[in-house]
Structure 1
Amino acid sequence: MAVNTSQPILYGIPNCDTVKKAERWLNQQGIAYSFHDIRTQPLSAEQWQALVTLVGPETIINKRSTSWRGLSESEQQLASVEAVVSLLQQYPTLMKRPLVTPTAPTKPNTFVIGFKEAAWAQEFQTA
């Protein structure tokens, strides 16, 4: 899932507190971005596959989420990339949020996952 846009894309759900913090931070910094609601605009199996392959199943799955706690033990095994992709297609809110696309063409296959202000300031080179 190589993404090369002129502005970052923020993937998440609008009612997530962490996504709201990230949006507030981006707005305060004057950073233009587009928002992709993973519930109303689901990612394809190919897009999930690319993301899981790039960042890894353990990185993209939010094991602290309500969605995760609602899964059966067998579903929580994450036995293969295909199993993770299938879970994310069924339950997109399992994705650790927010996920933001690269901010520079020199980093086309990197993503920032989760919101930590210091990491975002470094990624977006603000101070």
Structure 2
Amino acid sequence: MKLYSYPRCNTCRKAIVWLTARHLAAETLDITEQPPSIAELEQALAQLGRQRLFNTSGQSYRALGAAAVQAMDDQAALAALAADGKLIKRPFLIANDGRILTGFKEPEWLDLLG
């Protein structure tokens, strides 16, 4: 599994603790230094839709503006997400079977990872 997270994010730390407690290994990547690829983001877009991809409470999103994000087509949105990891809702988990989760909601993670 791959887990894109931000070291200063409390939600990301909770997700890492949750995975560790269940002995689930994940390659952990700093989302600000190495955001998900366009291909990974396309996969997430197909599974989750645009609304679940953007970190709407983050500074990068506020600086860009909700109206600007809504005006983007999918390719522009994916390019923006790939260019600035802080725009992406985190943590961003890619399970071994290719399914993707954003944010940390324990029931969703239990459902996906058992």
TM normalised by structure 2 equals 0.82
1:86 aligns with 2:79: yes
- Distance change in 2, residues 1:73/1:26 (3 Å): closer
Contact 2:33-2:85 within 8 A present in 1 as well = no
> Partner amino acid for 1:30?
H
Q: Percent identity?
A: 28
2:8 to 5, 12, 15: 15
Q: Kindly report which structure 2 residues correspond to 1:64-75, keeping only aligned pairs within 5 A, or say none.
A: 64-72=57-65, 74-75=67-68
User: 2:55 matched to which residue of 1?
Assistant: 62
Supply the distance in 2 between the matched residues of 1:51 and 1:118 (Cα, whole angstroms): 19
1:119 aligns with 2:77: no
Q: What's the CA shift for 1:61?
A: 0.9
- Distance change in 2, residues 1:21/1:50 (3 Å): same
User: 2:95 matched to which residue of 1?
Assistant: 102
Structure holding more helix per residue: 2
* Structure 1 unmatched ranges of 5 or more: 1-7
> Partner amino acid for 1:80?
D
* Structure 2 unmatched ranges of 5 or more: none
Question: Computing the radius of gyration over CA atoms, which structure comes out larger, 1 or 2?
Answer: 1
Equivalences, count: 114
Contact 1:65-1:94 within 8 A present in 2 as well = yes
Two-structure CA RMSD over aligned residues (Å):
2.1
TM normalised by structure 1 equals 0.75
